[in-house]
């Protein structure tokens, strides 16, 4: 981590730790990829130049306030005209510099990802993220939610779609923002240069729970990414205890199957997150709470108390059934 970006990154990490269920840092001043580094460099250039201009303006202001009055009024007016001309010229030069470097940075980060890029589809919903890794043959397609795994050093090409309203994909450590617009496919590309866990956020107001629409990007070594991908291709783990067996029976006999999918079971719903490996995710409800048995049981029983306005209704079931379903879903690593 660079010296100048350490403080913002530390502040972001502390803020992240204070928010329940949040994982990873979120800071555009701690770049972890090529595109984010360009954006960060542009920001620092603007910061230093604008700071210098601010200091000079204050210096001239104090000089004008506290200097001795000159008896040579005509000479003062002439000097004033000269200062105005110098100031106008300097302003024009600075604005031209900002224009040139901004266009140059924009061109560089807009370069296509290349034919060897990892293709990932990200679909924004109110208020969660559907993540798909399309593959041929189709049975090697991986579907998950709210978490994106990518290999370090390999370009990633994102296809951004919306299932309802306008959302905005923003992972500040890796790239800038890009909107997800209904009826249109937008593209976004980045290359992670170092391993880490990076938090992202919807950056376009999209409804009541816009602030609780986060995602996590895991930048991993190619070997760890391949291991994760192969694990995601496997069907859901079989129950290993009587409690988990009962939980699966309760789940597939309830209305859960109309919205959620669990590979290897009769649950093939397509309108809510795929739960095949939900036990291995770090958060629930798009980063709203940490994924642990207590929060999971609370989410199943009364999701509106955690994320008001979401599309999941309360699930009315006996306490022993709720505990069994929680135990089963926690086992799906």
- Show me where the domains of the chain are located: 31-109, 118-233, 242-330
Separation between Cα atoms, residue 280 and residue 291, nearest integer Å: 9
pLDDT at 76: 61
- How far apart CA 8 and CA 29 sit, in angstroms, is 7
Q: What proportion of the chain, given as a percentage, has pLDDT over 90? A: 67
What are the phi and psi torsion angles at 7 (to 5°)? -65, -50
Has residue 232 got a pLDDT over 70? yes
Here the tokens at position 298 are 């609370």
Q: Which of 9-18, 107-116, 240-249 has the least mean pLDDT?
A: 9-18
Q: What is the pLDDT confidence band of residue 24, given thresholds at 50, 70 and 90?
A: low
Q: SS3 of 172, please?
A: coil
- Does residue 180 sit in helix, strand or coil? strand
- Of 63-72, 119-128, 131-140, minimum mean pLDDT range: 63-72
Q: φ and ψ at 187, to 5 degrees?
A: -120, 155
Confidence of residue 70 (pLDDT cuts 50, 70, 90): low
Superfamily of domain 242-330: Cupredoxins -  blue copper proteins (2.60.40.420)
Grouping H, G, I as helix, E, B as strand and the rest as coil, residue 123 is strand
With a cut of 50, say whether residue 6 has pLDDT above it: no
Report the SS3 class of residue 86: helix
**Tokens (6 digits) for 255:** 């209305």
- Give pLDDT, residue 119: 95
Least confident among 70-79, 135-144, 232-241:
70-79
User: Residues in the chain, how many?
Assistant: 333
Taking only Cα atoms into account, the Rg of the chain, rounded to an integer number of angstroms, comes to 26
User: Sheet containing 196-202: which strands, arranged edge to edge?
Assistant: 147-151, 214-220, 196-202, 167-170, 177-180
Q: Is the pLDDT of residue 21 over 60?
A: no
Query: Once rounded to an integer, what is the mean pLDDT over residues 91-113?
Result: 87
* 205 compared with 73, residue with greater pLDDT: 205
pLDDT tens across 262-321, in order?
998 998 888 999 999 999 999 999 999 999 999 999 999 999 999 999 999 888 889 999
Range of lowest pLDDT (12-21, 126-135, 297-306): 12-21
Using the predicted structure, report yes or no on whether residue 224 has a pLDDT greater than 90: yes
**CA–CA separation, 279 vs 262, rounded Å?**
12
As beta bridge partners, residue 289 has 284
Beta-strand pair 214-220/283-284:
unpaired
CA distance to 34, 39, 174, per residue, from 141 (Å): 27, 33, 24
CATH topology match: 118-233 vs 242-330: yes
Structure confidence at residue 85 (pLDDT): 81
**pLDDT, position 64:** 73
Q: How far apart are CA 251 and CA 227, in angstroms?
A: 28
| pLDDT score at 330 | 94
Kindly state the average pLDDT of the residues 140-150: 95
The CATH code that applies to domain 118-233 is 2.60.40.420
Convert the pLDDT of each residue in 45-64 to its tens digit: 999 999 999 998 898 888 77
Average pLDDT (223-250) is 94
Mean pLDDT, residues 94-106 taken together: 90
Residue 288's contacts (CB-CB under 8 Å, 6 or more residues apart) are 20, 21, 212, 214, 306, 307
Mean of pLDDT over the chain = 87
């Amino acid at each position: 981590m660079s010296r100048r970006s350490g403080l913002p990154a530390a502040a972001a990490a502390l803020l992240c730790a204070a928010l329940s269920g949040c994982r990873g840092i979120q800071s555009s001043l701690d770049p972890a990829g090529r595109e984010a580094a360009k954006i960060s460099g542009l920001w620092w250039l603007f910061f230093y130049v604008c700071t210098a201009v601010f200091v000079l303006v204050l210096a001239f202001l104090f000089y004008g306030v506290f200097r001795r009055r000159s008896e040579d009024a005509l000479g003062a007016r002439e000097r004033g005209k000269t200062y105005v001309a110098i100031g106008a010229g300097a302003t024009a030069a600075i604005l031209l510099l900002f224009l040139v470097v901004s266009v140059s940075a924009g061109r560089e980060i807009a370069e296509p990802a290349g034919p060897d890029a990892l293709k990932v589809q990200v679909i924004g919903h109110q208020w969660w993220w559907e993540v798909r890794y399309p593959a041929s043959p189709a049975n090697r397609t991986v579907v998950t939610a709210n978490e994106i795994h990518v290999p370090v050093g390999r370009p990633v090409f994102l296809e951004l779609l919306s299932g309802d309203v306008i959302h905005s994909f923003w992972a500040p450590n890796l790239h800038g923002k890009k909107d997800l617009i209904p009826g249109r496919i937008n593209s976004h590309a980045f290359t992670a240069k170092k391993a880490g866990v990076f938090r992202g956020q919807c950056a376009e107001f999209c409804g009541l729970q816009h602030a609780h629409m986060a995602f996590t990007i895991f930048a991993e070594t190619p070997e760890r990414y391949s291991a994760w991908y192969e694990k995601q291709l496997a069907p859901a783990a079989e129950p290993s205890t009587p409690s988990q067996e009962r939980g699966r029976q309760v789940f597939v006999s309830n209305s859960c199957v109309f919205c959620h999918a669990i590979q290897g079971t009769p649950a093939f719903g397509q309108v809510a997150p795929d739960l095949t490996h939900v036990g291995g995710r770090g958060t629930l409800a798009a980063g709203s709470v940490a994924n642990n048995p207590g929060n999971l049981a609370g989410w199943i029983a009364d999701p509106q108390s955690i994320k008001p306005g979401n599309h999941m209704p309360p699930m009315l079931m006996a306490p022993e059934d709720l505990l069994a379903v929680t135990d089963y879903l926690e086992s799906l690593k």
